[in-house]
Amino acid sequence: MKIGIVCYPTFGGSGVVATELGMALSKRGHEIHFITYKQPVRLEQLSSNIYYHEVNVPEYPLFHYQPYELALSSKFVDTIKLYGIDLLHVHYAIPHAYAGYMAKKMLREEGIDIPMVTTLHGTDITLVGNHPFYKPAVTFSINKSDVVTSVSQSLKDDTLKFFDIKNEIQVIPNFIDISKRDNPFTECQRGLMAEDDEKIVTHISNFRKVKRIDDVVKIFYNIQKEMKAKLIMVGEGPEVSTAKQLVNELGIAKRVMFLGESNEINKILCFSDLFLLPSETESFGLAALEAMINGVPVISSNAGGLPEVNKDGFSGYLSDVGDVEDMAKNALAILKDKETLQQFKNNAKEMASKFDINAIVPLYEEVYEKALQPVK
Rounded Cα distance between 345 and 349, Å, is: 6
Flag residues of the chain having pLDDT under 70.
Answer: 10-13, 42, 44-46, 64, 123-124, 126-131, 181-188, 374-376
What predicted TM-score, i.e. pTM, was given to this entire model? Answer: 0.84
29: left (phi over 0), alpha (psi -120 to 50) or beta: left
| pLDDT tens digits, 288-336 | 999 999 999 999 999 999 999 999 999 999 999 999 999 999 999 999 9
Q: Domain residue spans in the chain?
A: 2-175+356-372, 178-355
Cβ(142)–Cβ(116) below 8 Å: no
For domain 178-355, which architecture applies?
Answer: 3-Layer(aba) Sandwich (3.40)
Alpha-carbon distances, residue 228 vs 24, 94, 196, 198 (angstroms):
41, 45, 10, 5
Q: Do domains 2-175+356-372 and 178-355 have the same CATH topology?
A: yes
| Cα–Cα nearest to 42, from 283, 286, 282 | 286
Confidence at residue 11, expressed as pLDDT on a 0 to 100 scale = 56
> What is the end-to-end Cα distance of the chain in Å, rounded?
13
At residue 232, the 3 state secondary structure works out as strand
H helices within 199-337, ranges in order?
213-226, 240-249, 265-271, 286-293, 306-309, 324-335
Q: Residues 40, 309, 265, CA angle at the centre, nearest 5°?
A: 40
Confidence at residue 373, expressed as pLDDT on a 0 to 100 scale = 87
Cβ(348)–Cβ(316) below 8 Å: yes
Confidence at residue 62, expressed as pLDDT on a 0 to 100 scale = 76
Alpha-carbon distances, residue 260 vs 41, 214, 240, 250, 315 (angstroms):
15, 17, 9, 21, 27
Cβ(117)–Cβ(146) below 8 Å: yes
Return phi, psi of residue 232, to 5°: -110, 120
- Please give the single-letter amino acid code of residue 233: M
| pLDDT tens digits, 14-48 | 778 898 899 999 999 999 999 998 887 767 666 77
Eight-class DSSP state of 365: H
Confidence at residue 221, expressed as pLDDT on a 0 to 100 scale = 98
Write b or e for each residue in 2-12: b if 16 or more Cβ atoms lie within 10 A of its Cβ, otherwise e: ebbbbbbbbbb
For domain 2-175+356-372, the CATH superfamily is Glycogen Phosphorylase B; (3.40.50.2000)
Confidence at residue 64, expressed as pLDDT on a 0 to 100 scale = 67
